[in-house]
A = this chain, B = another copy of it.
């Protein structure tokens, strides 16, 4: 058992994770990285086919050629979200090859990856480092995984690979279209998913890179979102997945009157605070409330003839409509959330794909996230100090990934539009179960029972003073909610064992997750 130490936000966090030293969170912008970026081995073209044909027979052959052995780190990506069939194929092949104790380093895992539980049990996979949505998160929560999970934001994953904190031995990249040289794109082909940005760090820094496609085209595959010059081998599969499942349930607009009210209040707040003006920028998450907010905003922009300079996606049909209607110059897209997003990215030069490097990497020369005028994000819990949780439920279970959430907190105005309670359990609490976002970065919380503004943002308070918005104090709001729900929520029943570490955008440990008692 690792020692625990109290970090700058008062959380007890492990000083060692899976045998490696971990640095406790030191405060926003406080930790200064040292040293140089990770440096992959120098290769020579003498070792690669002159005709550019890197195709090998199958996944097993590719893994063998890559020198797969016990204890290696294998990465995969969630561009196909719950439609992905590549990660399962990789570990099935690894199991057949008889290797053990692999570290799986996905950009995120989804319910479709539930079969990996068997391989975690049989010893093929030692542990998962990456967001776990659903069954794998639940498995981890109950303390069954041998190693400690490590959850990072999209930007944090790039940072960890770039900084050499995570060394990837073999990266396997699902490619909806690729050529024999390994150039690959996600914006076309039968399994088109949009972009492949989550695999960028892996393609740049992994020792060995395998591209897997079900749509092989003659060289050159254009565009090349992943560059064949970074790819060692190409595997052709019958199908890499089901692109229709990139659309998750949360990309539908909410029908709940409460949620619609929250969305509307959020849009009105942006207006009253002077954020909605010509040339502004915004980013809204994938949830139904965030989507509805975007619709309210769009209507406002149409009415007043206001044009955004750029909007950030997760793109979807609504953002695409805005682009095509001329309500924004650009979509800067990190991940397409529906097939309209994929189409637009393929067709429209104003629909620009981005990566965790451009958008989110804290250990870069700046990134896009801090330039956003406003971002609208979700949360599972928020506390009276505006600290927020995005990974665990009120029962302590680890069921969600971080995504770009932590990175987006760097924006000029961060708003969390959230329901006051879920299943009669208040979302506003004294202390969040897991602290993923420090309160100093969270500016506004919008509920159906009022809007509360972080006292650190006196500028925002001043701007909406005298407006018709229902501005309330966070303590008053919390009391009101507890009145309705019959008190504060019960503390989750947690054990001592740390099952997951939560890393901040700079690689330090901001919190950890304890096992739930079952």
On A, residues with C-beta under 8 Å from B are 29, 31-46, 48-52, 54, 162-163, 181-182, 209, 218-220, 222-224, 227-232, 279, 309-310, 330, 332, 349-350, 352, 357-358, 361-368, 370-371, 410, 506
Contacts A51-B371, A231-B365, A365-B231 given; does A44 touch B218 at CB 8 Å: no
- CB contacts (< 8 Å) of A44 on chain B: these are 29, 31-33, 362-363, 506
Q: Are B220 and A410 in contact (CB under 8 A)?
A: no
CA distance A399 to B54 in the complex (A): 40
What separation, in Å, do the CA atoms of A31 and B43 have in the docked complex? 11
Residues in chain B near residue A36, CB distance under 8 A: 39-42
Residues of B contacting A219 in the complex (Cβ-Cβ under 8 angstroms): 309-310, 371
Smallest CB gap from A51: residue in B: B371
Main secondary structure of the interface of A (DSSP, over half): loop
Say yes or no: B39 contacts A365, CB within 8 Å.
no
Bound form: Cα–Cα A218–B357 in Å: 20
Q: Are A349 and B42 in contact (CB under 8 A)?
A: no
Inter-chain contact A43/B352, CB cutoff 8 Å: no
Q: Other than the known A219-B310, A231-B365, what 15 A-B pairs have Cβ atoms closer than 8 Å?
A: A29-B44, A32-B44, A33-B42, A35-B42, A37-B42, A45-B364, A45-B410, A49-B366, A51-B371, A181-B366, A182-B365, A227-B358, A228-B358, A229-B361, A230-B365
Interface hub of A33, A220, A232 (most chain B Cβ within 10 A): A220
Of all chain B residues, the one with the shortest Cβ separation from A352 is: B222
Chain B residues with CB under 8 A of A46:
29, 32
Question: Given A40-B37, A309-B218: A45 and B370 within 8 A (CB)?
Answer: yes
Assess whether A220 is in contact with B332, with CB atoms less than 8 Å apart: yes
Q: Are A52 and B370 in contact (CB under 8 A)?
A: yes
Closest to A209 in B: B365
> How many angstroms between the C-alpha atoms of A310 and B50 in the bound complex?
17
CB-based nearest B residue for A347: B349
CB distance from A277 to the nearest CB of B (A): 14
Minimal beta-carbon separation of A315 from chain B (angstroms): 15
8 A-B contact pairs sorted by A residue (CB < 8 Å): A42-B363, A43-B364, A45-B361, A49-B366, A51-B370, A52-B366, A222-B349, A228-B358
